[in-house]
Amino acid sequence: MEQNLIVYVVSDSAGETGEFVVRAAAAQFHPIHADIRRAPFIQDVSALERVIQRAKLTGGIILFTLVIPELREALIQLGRTQGVECIDLLGPLVESLERQTGKSARQEPGLNHVLDADYFRKVDAVEFAVKYDDARDTTGVLKADIVLVGVSRTSKTPLSMYLAHKKYKVANVPLVPELKPPKELFEIRKDKIIGLTIGVPYLNIIRKERLKALGLPDSAAYAATTRIEQELAYAESIMKQLDCTIIDVSFRAVEETASLIMERIRLQN
């Protein structure tokens, strides 16, 4: 039987360097297959928490190329507390270069990418995703290339950021039973809307871990199975009204879900 090794490549840039290194190392262990799952453009600790949880659930390890010290330290600490092996690819080398040169690293992700027109389109898309994240301004729904809808913790924000780096302008809207969905959702083409759903047990685990990370009891209503079932049923009813594409994000890495979304958008355009 072929043995699989799951490796999550975590980066505050595209993650190409980390993936290349994993593939080179894994080639030394043929016929073991390396299932490489990128988690690119990480910007905050909550995103790291999600990756750690996925790695823990799947028995994977993490290789990371984070140049921002705070994110590096946070991931190392999360790995220790959750029992997930985390391998720092750039940290020791950067520190060694700092000692040798007597200069401090710039600590800016993605400096190996050329600043060109394509780059600035990405910047525009990232700024759009930040501005219209979590329905802060629902007018973004009318301007977006893609609109993501779903309950809390279905990866709407990391997906928005990932797709932004692919030059898509993305708005995302949380679906909460107590809140009426914005009217703008019903004014745009259905092929621009992607509904995100997730399995109850998986979401239960994710929300409990999130509560723990916030120092709150995991028995809170937010993570209760009955509450999750209610939210998912409500979200499904709204998605049916919108007649939109629905993707199950359970056990899917962000880049995998993003690939499905981009393929769907390409087919419809």
Strands 86-88, 146-150: pairing is: unpaired
Is 17 annotated in a binding site? The answer is no
Q: Which of 156, 164, 151 is nearest to 121 (CA)?
A: 164
The DSSP H or E segment spanning 246 is strand 245-248
Return the HEC string of 72-103: HHHHHHHHHHHCCCEEECCHHHHHHHHHHHCC
151 is in an annotated binding site: yes
- In 151-234, the DSSP E strands lie at 170-174, 193-197
Check the annotation: does 167 bind a ligand: no
Q: What is the CA radius of gyration of the chain?
A: 19
To which residue do tokens 């984070």 refer? 66
Q: Where are the alpha helices (DSSP H) in 91-137?
A: 91-101, 117-131
| b/e burial code for range 62-99 (CB count within 10 A of at least 16 → b) | bbbbbbeeebbebbbebbeeeebebbbbbbeebeeeee
State how far the Cα of 35 lies from the Cα of 60, in Å rounded to an integer.
9
Are 43 and 161 spatial neighbours (Cβ–Cβ below 8 Å)?
A: yes
Tell whether residue 160 is among the known ligand binding residues: no
First to last CA, the chain: 42
Residue 150 annotated as lining a ligand binding site: yes
- Please enumerate, by residue number, every residue annotated as part of a binding site: 150-157
- Please enumerate, by residue number, every residue annotated as part of a binding site for ADP: 150-157
